[in-house]
Each structure stands twice: as C-alpha cells, then as structure tokens.
Structure 1
Amino acid sequence: MASNKKAVFFLCGDLGIDPVAGHVFNKLKIIYDLKRTDIIIDDKPVLKYTDKSKNEFYFAETHKVICHDYTYYLPIMNQYFSDSDMSGLITWHEGQNAPDKILSVHTTGDVDSGNFGNANPQYMHNLLWGLEKHKIDANMDDFMVTTEATHWSGMVYGEGNPKLIPMFPVPIIDIEIGSTAKSWDNSAAAEVIARSLTEIFNEDNKTLMNLLCVGAVHFEPSFANAVFETWDDKAFGISHIVPNHWLVTGQYENEDGLIKLENCIDSIIGGISGIAFHDKLKGTYKSQLRILGEKYNIPVFKHQLLRRPEDIPFKYAGKTV
C-alpha cells in the first residue's frame, strides 16, 4: 500500500439533484471515523479520514454536482486540493439504452475538442479492483463493475467550456451507480463504493501495461473486461477510452485529430505501453493510431488480443519519449 497520499472526493448531498452521492456519503459517515477539517465548501466542512498508512481521504459535500457549475467549483478545487494525488466525483449514471445495475468508472475529457484531464491508470486500476472485490463480498452478483468512455458531464449540464477540464491538474474520475432509480437507491451498491474509495492507493504489485483504448461503443465490453485480465504478474492499465462516435464528430481523421490523440496520450500518467483499437474501427482512424505507434515505438493492436495478452508485442511498461 502507498503511504502519505491524498485523495479528494466530491459528493452532491442533495438527492433531488444527485440520486446517488448522498447515499454514498451517508455510508461513508457510518463506516469511517470522519473528522471535520477547517475547509468549508458551500457552508459545509470538508470531512477527512486518515488510514493506517497516513493516506488522507477528503470528502467534500457540495450543493451542486461540481461539473454542472465548474466555473464556480474549479477555483475552489484548485485552492484546496491541487496538491492531491487523485480525485473523484461520486454521481449517478443514466441514459437511453444505458445498462442497468452497474458500478462504472470513467476518466474526464471532452473527446470532440481534444481536452483531456490527467488520468492515473494505477489508481483507477486499484479502485476498479476494489469495487469488484467489495461487490463480490456483498453478494451483488447481478451488478457489474465496468469502465465507460471518457467524457465530461459539464458539456451537457454545465457551461460547456471544455477548456476548463485541464485546468484542474489532479487526475479525476467519475464513479457512478446506474442506471435506474432502483439501482441509485441500492444501499449495498452505495456501500460498495464507500468501502472502495479508501482503497484507491492499495496496489497489488502487478506491473501495469497502460493502454489507450480507441473505438467501439460507450460501454465497450472488451475494454471493460481488460481491467481484470492478468498474466505473468501483469495487468492492463485502463484509463482514457475514446469511443467511435466522438472520433467521428471530432473529425479525428484530420491532422488535428492526431494532435488530439497525442494530447490524450500525454495526459496519461506513466505513459502508455500500447494502443488497443476495436476491430470495426474505420481504416482512416487506424492509420492515425499506427502513426502514433511508430512515433512512440509501441504496439497498435486489435481488441481481440486483449484476451491473449501474451501475444501482444509489448516493449516496455510505459512509453519512452
């Protein structure tokens, strides 16, 4: 386990606005000995838990979901938490044709414009494995832990200025329960998240082969399943996932698209060991990825190989510059 690390999690406590975060916050207050801090946000004290390794976990209750009013919350986040190692937003997931009974995690970014928040594959790996462990312990066989395509809800609910995304230097992920009212109210799901948050620095000593995942749908099973694939004390480090529909709307076939993809890669802490693309990706996008593969001297491969990691010609963990 890492020590002396710092994480902050933001939770909108109003169930009328966010039907999930308040339930998770209540579980946190039951499970942990939370201490009041001198930090006040939205007239509420930020609470803190310190584990045996002196890792600090801050829980900030807000009036709104932070990405819904980022112009207001961003300066506050930077004032108090810019020195954090990791951060997260606890919230709900919904959407047309969205899968139900999910515990989902995704990185932050606006693929269309090419603005990506920093991503930490190691801490995302730790959290996803923690969620899976606690889900199993809770006998929640009907729920699924999954990744989701990189996006930022501020484009839908907030002021829609994606240039704000990189202005918070700390890697931030959305941690969600979806996608129906029954799932949002699921007490066991809220507890699974609450117990997993404080394990975000718990490493399993596996060597992560970080990937950029490109193509396919918003909830792509091949990328989600890759999180739990292990071989020879190695595992995939999954963070930014760029889905097919935003490649199209963002015109990633153009030269500017190559720059956007490089921005994405450069935001992944530790670099990448390879690029995995869905086999149905159009050739014009595959060509862009192969250009990047040559530049970074890393393999570019079809998603089917994620089930056969021993066959991927990795050269190293992380990228060289």
Structure 2
Amino acid sequence: MGYRVVVAGATGNVGREMLNILAEREFPIDDIAALASSRSQGDEVEFGESGRMLKIQNIEHFDPNGWDIALFAIGSEATKVYAPKFAAAGCTVIDNSSLYRMDPDVPLIVPEVNPGAIDGYTRKNIIANPNCSTAQLVVALKPLHDAAKITRVVVATYQSVSGAGKSGMDELFEQSRNIFVGEQAEPKKFTKQIAFNVIPHIDSFLDDGSTKEEWKMVVETKKILDPKIKVIATCVRVPVFVGHSEAVHVEFENEISAVEAQRILREAPGVMLVDKREDGGYVTPIEAVGEFATYVSRIREDPTVDNGLAMWVVSDNLRKGAALNAVQIAELLGRRHLQKAA
C-alpha cells in the first residue's frame, strides 16, 4: 500500500524535478496529483521516464481531504494561502519556500543531518525544506561537526541561475546569445548582466549589509546543525545553469586533519568525496547535475586559524537543494510516522 501524493507547483523547475525523483526513487504511490495555478490548468507534465502524463489541476479548486503528503514548490505567498488548508485537511505539507523555515513549530529537515527533528511536524502538520545552499552545506558539515565540533563557518557561494527559476535560466541564455551576435544584454531578472559576469547579490538587502539569502544560510544552518556555530556567508550568482558550489572555511573546537576529514566524509551519508590533488581531481557543477550526492573536494588544512579546514562543496541545487531533499523528507516521514508499506 502506498501514499496519495500531491506535487504543487508541478510546472516549475523544482516541481518537475520532484516528479522525476518520486519516480526514480520508486516512492510508494497509490495516487498522484499535479497542481499549479489557473494559468497552467489542463496542461500536462511527465511523471518519470515511463511517459505517463499528468494533467495539471488548479490548486485553488483542489480538495486535499484524503491525501497523505503534499510537496509544495509554489513560493511563499501561495504557500501562506494553501499550506494551512492542506495541513488542516490531514495532508502533511513539505514546503520548499522560506515561509516556515524559522517557525519554531515547524521542523526544518535535512534527513542526513537532523532526522529526529521531524517528530515535531505534528504541531502544524508542516515540514520545511531548507534553502538550496544551506542543504548541501550542512550535509558536508554534519559528520565533521560530530567528529571535532565546529565553532565557525565562513562560506562563499557560487549559485547557478536555476536558483532564480526558469526566468533566471532564460535570462542567462538570452544574454549569452545576444552578446555573441553583438546585441544588447539588458538585465531583467537580475540586477546586473549575468552572462560572463558574477553578481554578489541574491535576494534583498538587510540593514546590516548582508542579503536575505546570506541571512537564510546563517539562521538555517544554526537551526539544523547547532545554534552555537558562528556562520557568515557571501552569496554570489554565477553564469552556470544548474549546480551550486561553495568555498567553505571551517574552524573546529578540536583538532582535525585533512586526512581525517577525508576519511570521515568518505563514509558520510549523502556525501561523495572526490578529492585528488591533480588536474580534474575535483567536482564542478556540470558533473553534479542530475546526481543525488553532495560532492566534496579540495579538503585542506587552513594554517591561518587553529583547527581549521577549507573545502569545496558542489551539488545539483534543483535536486539536493530542493526536490530531492523534499522527497527524502517524505521517505523519512513515511518510515517514522505514516508507516504505510510499499
């Protein structure tokens, strides 16, 4: 016996990826519904490689009663309207937006990192999925924190345009094409030209000079991993279609060597260590696209601080950063609470 599953936002990048991953991982499904706004009603989306097509239903008119799990990828404003409605109907919401992440009554989950926190989902019947950059960061940090206790993290991100949705990907493509043919590359989605450029600005600016994206990484890492860890982030948009990368500098309370960190991460859940000190002995976003793992490379000791390490972390942001993590949460929820057999 399987679950009755809803994917809300099924026409977007993350929603489509959720459908792909549900099929790839053979999530036990008795019935599935694909939802979006009225603009997409009647359109079709593919479910898995079998060629099965799902007709898009209008979320405004959908009755969530009798459904078990809803994977939401519809943004904060729509989530504010529909998540409480679904949750009240007994359909557990796993939300990809930022709306509930810092709500003390909503668990913020990365299954490899803090699976036990999911037990608090019953307070609102909602579970939050973290920011895409946070998810891959904490997967890499958790086993090291367990081994030597992290005190401080400094991270610079290199975030792909898919993190800004289809419009971000379209803008990179159109600007690149225009530049090659000698036409103007005017920014629309982004604040500056993204083609052949990098932009140190994601989301809105806050009073302290950081951006909301950077704030998310700080507070979410603390909530998921350990509130005592000091974190600072600089988040940068780069002209890559899919795949987020991070340069991570970590300070520990206890001594830990690069060799020991490699050994730990080689066995860590969700991590793939690719760390050869030679040309090409590391992972870039292109190799991470379509993969489930969070890749770690370039581990080395940081001589500028006591007990410091530096490393390079890469993941498919549409997968581990969003859709995959949501499906893994659904799997965890099923194992720990819903307990229906496949």
Superposition TM-score, scaled by structure 1 size? 0.30
Superposition TM-score, scaled by structure 2 size? 0.29
User: Which has the higher Rg, Structure 1 or Structure 2?
Assistant: 2
